[in-house]
Amino acid sequence: MVGHPVPLTVMIATSCGRCTTPLPAELPSSITLAHRSDHKGTPMSSHAWPRFSLVPVAALATLLAFGLVALADPPAAEAQKKKVLNIAAKEPETLDPHTSILGQTQAIKRFMYRGLARFAIKDGKVTTSEVEPDLAESWTLSPDGTVWTFKLRKGVQFHKGFGEFTAEDVKFSFERQINKAPGTRFGVNLGVIKSIEVVDPHTVQIALKAFDPIFLLRMVGYQQGYIVSKKAVEKFGEQYKWNPVGTGPFYFERHAPREKVVLKAFDKYHGGRPQIDEVHWFDVPEDATKLIGLEKGTFDLLYPEAVTADFAGQVQKMGAVIDRRGPGGQERFYINMTKPPFDDIRVRRAFMHAIDRKAIKETMYPGGLARVAPSCVPPGYFGHIPMTFPEYDPEKARKLLAEAGHPNGFTIKNYFISKSFFYPKVLTLAQEQLKKVGIIVELQVVEHATFHENIRKNLDPFVLYGGTRITDADPWLSLFFDSKEIPDPATGNKGTNFAHYKAIDDLLAAGRVERDVKKRAAIYAEAQKRIERDLVCLPISDVPGQWARNPKRVSTPFDPEYGEFSLHYSYNYPEMLKILN
């Protein structure tokens, strides 16, 4: 059962099954440890004591190092007065909202930053079909559809005394990305902007190069839409990444590397002070450790690496819940069509015939935990249509490889894959399937940040990737298939067109200026047909965003089953979370 931290008792055994490992002498004598688990981290009954590995040593070390194992005599005073939300996730590598695409960083950003607009709360749910004002209080569009005028909310304050939010901050936040300030990742989403004019401190006018049907979606507080303090960025320079200043419900207090990030409630938040006093974001890489902490009451929310059937079962068994948010992220392969041997379409087709998508999905996410992806544009995004992909057929794959001059297959050396989230598990499954047709993939498992660096150096001939974007075909296809987004280490382009695809640039340009909704949908349908024809993307699974929560400690106003759509890998409105006791 999940609950508050309680005194624990433990025996620690090594995997040899014949010896035990004593507690280090320097541990406080008031700390005793206990958690019965099998080698997969599954809680076991008190009478079923295994001969080996009761608690993974790494997990135990994490709990001890961060003081996350309950004290026998916990201090009662200050901690009980504060409402502290404890989150187990991975450590963000930056707190600059414009410079990271990593999931854990996307998640924590939402606690600190806001945009001109936000996704609307309608009928008790968060919807992506409508937006409503946030830092802006209203907006108007010129008759020709190219000039937006935003009236800004007055009196909104930045964190840490950096003053009132103004039109200068809006202009600066967007232009730093448009001008590709070092490290920024989302300027492509603002490429439609021609100019930004500060009319007065509370009015900003944004002129577009052409009509943009999803411009208000671009202004939502997400990735490029977040507003930063101009004064803070200019003051801290490269150090801004650990000195973030936004207007959100929580402000940055401190960062203890490899331990935790501490956020505190912002008393001057324009939406009202949150009920939660502090957020402690712990760096806990292993899901087994997270589950132990959730069960013992050390953690309130978990951001898991991957929600498997085993993980979901353990969460349910301990009385916790999983908050699911759709349509979620898509896991997919991009094939670099310019890199031999995948420059031959027969090899790309063979690759797809070799991959059993359903088997991968069912292994990773049995039943309703995910769906086999029906398109390179996920369901729920404007412009989505079902696509057809080569069916699983290893024999066809072998024949195609032989026709392409690879009768014995080929070997891919030094293939880099992230050690985090779904990446190693999905790639290992694909590796075994590819091996059956003669494609040998020699894996190099690396840190997640290193993986992102390497795939932007074009070191992998095909790339496993995942994520969520604004729910419209334009930003999705622009990020992954626009030729301007082809990564190039020579120029410093860190784009995400890993297929090096150039065949839908004309359609993307047409879709961005088309005002007729039906015609616009037809444009994106054609784009998906071309991608289908050229065999450069193979989607595997559509996976909802999923966090585990202790409902006895934390409440959310939205239904756990798809009560909101979250582009932030987290909660759209963390200020609405409440500590119950």
Q: Are residues 416 and 534 in the same domain?
A: yes
Task: Give dist(CA 246, CA 248) in Å, integer.
Answer: 6
Which residues are registered as beta bridge partners of 207?
A: 147, 195
Strand 147-152 and strand 136-141: pairing?
Answer: antiparallel
Which of these three, 194, 215, 236, is where a domain ends? Answer: 236
Strand ranges (DSSP E) for 237-284? 250-256, 260-265, 278-283
Same domain, 205 and 353: no
Cis preceding linkage at 133, omega within 30: no
Residue ending a domain, choose from 236, 269, 289: 236
pLDDT at 302: 97
Rounded Cα gap, residues 425 and 432, in angstroms: 11
Domain residues for 500? 326-543
Q: What is the pLDDT of residues 276-326, one digit of tens each?
A: 999 999 999 999 999 999 999 999 999 998 788 899 999 999 999 999 887
More confident residue, 325 or 414: 414
Rounded-to-integer distance, Cα 237 and Cα 252, Å: 17
- β pairing state of 278-283 and 84-89: parallel
379 is a domain residue: yes
Return the CATH number at 232.
3.90.76.10
User: Cβ–Cβ contacts within 10 Å for residue 515, how many?
Assistant: 9
Residue 70: the pLDDT is 42
Q: Which comes out higher in pLDDT, residue 57 or 469?
A: 469
- Total domains in the chain come to 2
345 shares a domain with 228: no
For residue range 552-570, list pLDDT tens digits in order.
999 999 999 888 887 766 7
CA–CA dist 527, 211 (Å, integer): 20
The pLDDT score that the predictor gives to residue 328 is 81
- Model pLDDT for residues 211-248, shown as the tens digit of each residue: 998 999 999 999 999 999 999 999 999 999 999 999 99
Count helices and strands (H / E) in the chain: 16, 19
Q: Which two tokens stand for residue 170?
A: 């809006």
Q: Are residues 232 and 330 in the same domain?
A: no
- Is residue 8 situated within a structural domain? no
Tell me if 527 is assigned to some domain. Answer: yes
* Predicted pLDDT of residue 128: 73
The two structure tokens encoding residue 459: 């070191």
pLDDT tens for 159-185 read: 999 999 999 999 999 999 999 999 999
Q: pLDDT tens-digit profile of 536-551? A: 999 999 988 899 999 9
The separation between CA 157 and the C-alpha centre of its own chain, rounded to angstroms, equals 28
Contact in structure between 181 and 228 (CB atoms under 8 Å): no
Residues 6+ apart with CB under 8 A from 65: 259
pLDDT per residue as tens digits for the range 94-147: 999 999 988 889 899 999 999 999 988 988 998 776 789 999 999 999 999 999
Residues paired with residue 164 on neighbouring β-strands, in sequence order: 157
CB within 8 Å of 206: residues ≥ 6 apart: 147, 148, 149, 150, 174, 193, 195, 196, 197
pLDDT value, residue 231: 98
Residues 358 and 217 in one domain: no
* pTM (2 d.p.): 0.69
275 contacts 578 by C-beta, under 8 angstroms: yes
Tell me, yes or no, whether 18 lies in a domain. no
In this structure, are 210 and 345 located in the same domain? no
Q: What sign has the CA pseudo-torsion 29, 35, 36, 39? A: negative
- Residue 472, class by beta-carbon neighbours within 10 Å (0-12 exposed, 13-18 middle, 19+ buried)? buried
What was the pLDDT predicted at 71?
35
**Four-point Cα dihedral 53, 57, 60, 62, nearest 10:** -150
Answer yes or no: is 58 within a domain.
Answer: no
The answer to whether residue 57 is domain-embedded is no
What is the dihedral sign for C-alpha 452, 453, 455, 459? negative
Cβ–Cβ < 8 Å for 425, 306: yes
Q: How many residues does the structure list for the chain?
A: 581
- Residue 189 sits in the same domain as residue 338: no
How far is residue 167's CA from residue 151's CA, in Å, rounded to a whole number?
A: 9
Which CATH number goes with the domain that contains 458?
A: 3.10.105.10
| Assigned domain for 283 exists | no
- Quote the percentage of the chain above a pLDDT of 90: 72
Q: Residue 466 is encoded by which pair of tokens? A: 């995942």
pLDDT at res. 13: 30
**Complete DSSP assignment for 487-514:** -BTTTTB----TT---TTHHHHHHHTT-
Q: What is the pLDDT of residues 444-503, one digit of tens each?
A: 999 999 999 999 999 999 999 997 777 899 989 999 999 999 999 999 999 999 999 999
Rounded Cα distance, 34 and 18, in Å: 19
Give the three-state DSSP class for 207. Answer: strand
d(CA 185, CA 97): 9
Domain endpoint, select from 213, 236, 259: 236
Residue 335 lies in a domain: yes
